[in-house]
């Protein structure tokens, strides 16, 4: 069964608000990327070297990533030869299929690891300004909606106003915050938070951390110390180490991911502000080049606008216009 038929079967007839949110949130990327692909198909009647060179530029400009693009272009050339594709419009569905394959490595690892009937500890890392504290607040709200008992740990004790910012989110979503004075040892905050979480029989502890990259060695040492404290109290904690990245920063986000990946065991990515960029291809670059699953994405500023990443939803949101074109072509064809 073709990629488009699978997508049609999966999403036709659904009035799912999440499906619509993915479509709406990816509109900038879709309009830019798919629009450029449509123009490419119109400008080239045949699939040749010039066609692939321009396609390469389109993919790179969408922040799909140079290494990913090179592999993808080679794969597409092979497919074009195998399937004897010569007409440019016939390769468009193949491009969509190949991009989808890059994301659909493992559905299992894309979901958050939440312990049943035990305390789950989730550690958030990332540089300042990417939306880390906001993501923690939104995730706390999401878990509360699922009737989980949640606690926040204000481990970013260095950035001016960071503790207060987390407290504001705690009040907003009705979740307590464990804190100490500004400048305190983050590991001491985590120790207090673990003890409090245990005594209160909390389901999920969300831990904020410092995000300074001016001195990478000190920051990474602090993160290691925090992790050691958590692991000493709960042997398999933290259960998730989520790296928060700002999608609008494109390749800069990739650079940040590489730094944190070397220093700590990142288990997943939270990609914020995906609705604010036309370069949503960064999802593909992260997935393929860093082999880190994107677990949560931000598609708006509302409390409920943090979503678990679903490859099928992302692909459908990105290629929904192409899917509609394929359906229209099929409807207008010979009966």
Give the pLDDT score at 33: 81
The answer to whether residue 142 scores a pLDDT higher than 70 is yes
The answer to whether residue 158 scores a pLDDT higher than 60 is yes
- Residue owning tokens 């000190």: 218
3-class SS letters over the chain: CCHHHHHHHHHCCCCCHHHHHHHHHCHHHHHHHHHHHHHHHHHCCECCHHHHHHHHHHHHHCCCCHHHHHHHHHHHHHHHHHCCCCEHHHHHHHHHHHHHHHHCCCCHHHCCCCCCCCCEEEEEECCCCCCHHHHHHHHHHHHHHCCCCEEEEEECCCCCCHHHHHHHHHHHHCCEEECCCCCCCHHHHHHHHHHHHHHCCCCEEEEEECCCCCCHHHHHHHHHHHHHHHHHHCCCCCCEEEEEEEHHHCHHHHHHHHHHHHHCCCCEEEEECHHHCCCCCHHHHHHHHHCCCEEEEECCCCCCCEEECCHHHHHHHHHHHHHHHHHHHHHHCCC
Give the pLDDT score at 94: 85
The answer to whether residue 215 scores a pLDDT higher than 60 is no
Overall average pLDDT of the 73-97 stretch: 88
pLDDT in tens, 159-197: 889 999 999 999 999 999 999 999 999 999 999 999 999
Question: Is 252 annotated as belonging to a binding site?
Answer: no
Question: Is 154 annotated as belonging to a binding site?
Answer: no
The answer to whether residue 1 scores a pLDDT higher than 50 is no
The answer to whether residue 66 scores a pLDDT higher than 60 is yes
How long, in residues, is the chain? 335
**19 or 144, higher pLDDT:** 144
Question: Is 211 annotated as belonging to a binding site?
Answer: yes
The answer to whether residue 201 scores a pLDDT higher than 80 is yes
Nearest to 194, CA basis, from 121, 292, 254, 127: 121
Question: Is 298 annotated as belonging to a binding site?
Answer: no
Question: Is 275 annotated as belonging to a binding site?
Answer: yes
CATH 1.20.120.140 positions along the chain are: 17-107+314-332
Give the pLDDT score at 130: 92
CATH 3.40.50.300 positions along the chain are: 111-310
Look at 43-52, 160-169, 283-292, 317-326 and tell me which has the smallest mean pLDDT. 317-326
Question: Is 128 annotated as belonging to a binding site?
Answer: yes
Question: Is 208 annotated as belonging to a binding site?
Answer: yes
Question: Is 321 annotated as belonging to a binding site?
Answer: no
Phi/psi of residue 309, each to 5°? -75, 130
Rounded CA gap, 309 and 62, in Å? 19
Give the pLDDT score at 176: 98
Question: Is 131 annotated as belonging to a binding site?
Answer: yes
* pLDDT classification of 315: cutoffs 50, 70, 90: confident
Which CATH number is correct for 111-310, 3.40.50.300, 3.30.930.10, 3.40.50.150, 3.40.50.720? 3.40.50.300
Question: Is 200 annotated as belonging to a binding site?
Answer: no
Overall average pLDDT of the 248-254 stretch: 86
Question: Is 152 annotated as belonging to a binding site?
Answer: no
Q: With the C-alpha atoms ordered 252, 101, 21, 56, is the resulting torsion angle positive or negative?
A: positive
Question: Is 127 annotated as belonging to a binding site?
Answer: yes
The pTM assigned to this predicted structure is 0.87
Question: Is 133 annotated as belonging to a binding site?
Answer: yes
Give the pLDDT score at 15: 45
Q: Which fold has domain 17-107+314-332?
A: 1.20.120
């Amino acid at each position: 069964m073709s990629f488009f038929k699978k997508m049609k079967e999966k999403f036709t007839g659904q009035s799912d608000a999440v499906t619509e949110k993915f479509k709406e949130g990816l509109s900038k990327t879709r309009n830019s990327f798919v629009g450029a692909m449509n123009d490419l198909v119109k400008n080239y009647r045949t699939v040749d070297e010039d066609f692939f060179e321009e396609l390469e530029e389109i993919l790179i400009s969408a922040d799909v990533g140079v290494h990913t693009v090179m592999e993808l272009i080679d794969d597409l050339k092979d497919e074009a030869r195998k399937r004897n594709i010569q007409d440019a419009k016939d390769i468009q569905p193949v491009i969509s299929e190949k991009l989808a394959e890059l994301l659909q490595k493992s559905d299992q690892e894309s979901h958050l690891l939440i312990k049943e009937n035990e305390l789950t500890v989730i550690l958030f890392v990332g540089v300042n300004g990417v939306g880390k504290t906001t993501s923690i607040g939104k995730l706390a709200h999401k878990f509360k909606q699922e009737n989980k008992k949640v606690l926040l740990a204000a481990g970013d004790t260095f950035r001016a106003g960071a503790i207060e910012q987390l407290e504001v989110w705690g009040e907003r979503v009705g979740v307590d915050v464990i804190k100490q004075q500004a400048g305190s040892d983050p590991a001491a905050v985590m120790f207090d938070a673990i003890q409090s979480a245990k005594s209160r029989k909390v389901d999920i502890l969300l831990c904020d951390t410092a995000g300074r990259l001016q001195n990478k060695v000190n920051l990474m040492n602090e993160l290691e110390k925090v992790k050691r404290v958590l692991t000493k109290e709960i042997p398999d904690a933290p259960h998730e180490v989520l790296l928060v990245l700002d999608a609008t920063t494109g390749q800069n986000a990739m650079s940040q991911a590489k730094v944190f990946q070397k220093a700590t065991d990142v288990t997943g990515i939270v990609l914020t502000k995906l609705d604010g960029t036309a370069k949503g291809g960064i999802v593909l670059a992260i997935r393929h080049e860093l082999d880190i699953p994107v677990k949560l994405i931000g598609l708006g500023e509302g409390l409920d606008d943090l979503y678990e990443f679903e490859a099928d939803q992302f692909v459908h949101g990105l290629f929904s216009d192409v899917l509609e074109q394929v359906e229209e072509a099929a409807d207008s064809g010979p009966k």
